[in-house]
Amino acid sequence: MASIDDQLIAMAGMTQAVQLIQTLAYEGRVADQQALESSVGSLFAFDVPDTASVYGGLSGVRLGLKRVNELLAGNARQPKDLELTRYLVTLFAVTKAFRQDADMGAKLHSRLEELKPSFDQHGADTGLMADLNSLYRSTLSNLPQKFVINGEKHHLEDMQTSSTVRALLLAGVRGTILFDQVGGRRWRLLFMRGKYIEASQRLLRRA
């Protein structure tokens, strides 16, 4: 698979995570259950043969690929689209700070290894979301960079919704790290936008 495809898959993983968060925050529902399972599952993809396998295949990031294509093509100009872009920018900042803290990285990885059997057996159920919520609060929430999630207060204060949001923030960081690992750079999204749009459309047809 060409590197631009790998970068798009990682970007789709990032975008899918924040898109799911946005829907949860405003509507209190999971926009796409398969996308949720794939995003959370990426946290436990420790040894995979290729980038797509982090999400269980291209179908696992179909929602993300669709949103990336819309954002790159300039078809997304609504306030929530700008908010989504802001979340992606924040992901880069938070991930940069996270990667500078080796102890936090080791702690998070070790805990995810412990939780993997639960995901393998039960998927992204409420128990796992609660565990990932606790993991987020003991790691990423201590970084100087903070995620500020907009939405309806009664949804954001719901325990199950807030736990799922934090689990997806972890998945967003996972996607951001993956983006860097496969050679992704933010400036390329600007200067090679046409190639990325073409590739995103091609991947969507296969997803």
**CB within 8 A of 46, min separation 6: which ones?**
113, 116
Among candidate residues 203, 187, 179, 190, the one with its CA nearest the CA of residue 91: 179
pLDDT digits (tens, 9 = 90+) for 9-37: 999 999 999 999 999 999 999 999 999 99
Report CA Rg, the chain.
16
Domains of the chain (ranges, CATH numbers): 3-206 (1.10.3890.10)
pLDDT digits (tens, 9 = 90+) for 110-138: 999 999 999 999 999 999 999 999 999 99
What's the predicted TM-score (pTM) here? Answer: 0.95
